[in-house]
Chain A
Amino acid sequence: MISPDGSSRILVVMPAFNEASRIRRMVEAVRCQVAGDVLVVDDGSSDDTAGEARRGGARVAVHPVNLGYGAALQTGYRWALKRGYGAVLQLDADGQHDPAFIPGLLEALSRADVVVGSRFLGERSYRPPLLRRMGMWLFGRVASALAGQRITDPTSGFQAISAEALRFYAHERYPVDYPDADVLAMVARSGLRLAEVPVRMLPSPPGKSMHAGAWKPLYYVARMSLALFLVPLRSEKR
Chain B
Amino acid sequence: MTKAQHLFAILVSLASLAVIVELVRRRKLKEEYSLLWILTAAGMLVLSSWYDLVEWLTQLSGAVTPTTTLFIFGLVFLLLISVHFSTVLSRLTEQVRRLTQELALLSAERDELRERDRRS
Contact = CB atoms under 8 A, between A and B. Distances in A.
Interface of A: 39, 41-42, 54, 59-65, 67, 71, 74-75, 78-79, 82, 172, 176
A176 B97 CA distance: 8
A61 B107 contact: yes
Contacts of B32: none
Contacts, number: 47
Contact of A59 (B100, B101, B111): B111
B111 A67 contact: no
Nearest to B98: A172
Interface of A, helix, strand, loop or mixed by DSSP: mixed
A64 B94 contact: no
B98 to A, nearest CB: 8
B100 A61 contact: no
Interface string B84-101: 000000000110111011
A64 B103 contact: yes
Nearest to B103: A64
A60 B108 CA distance: 6
A62 B107 contact: yes
B102 to A, nearest CB: 8
A61 B105 contact: yes
Interface residues of B, number: 14
Nearest to A42: B104
B112 interface: yes
A78 B104 CA distance: 10
B91 to A, nearest CB: 11
A75 B101 contact: yes
Contacts of A71: 97, 100-101
Given A172-B94, A176-B97, A63 B105 contact: no
Contact of B111 (A60, A65, A82, A176): A60
A63 B105 CA distance: 9
A171 to B, nearest CB: 11
Contacts of B103: 63-64
A59 B108 contact: yes
A65 B100 CA distance: 7
9 contacts: A42-B104, A60-B111, A65-B96, A74-B101, A78-B101, A79-B108, A82-B105, A172-B94, A176-B93
A67 B105 contact: no
Contact of A41 (B93, B98, B104): B104
A79 B108 CA distance: 9
**Shortest 9 CB-CB contacts between residues of A and residues of B:** A61-B104, A61-B108, A75-B101, A75-B104, A63-B104, A63-B100, A62-B107, A71-B97, A62-B104
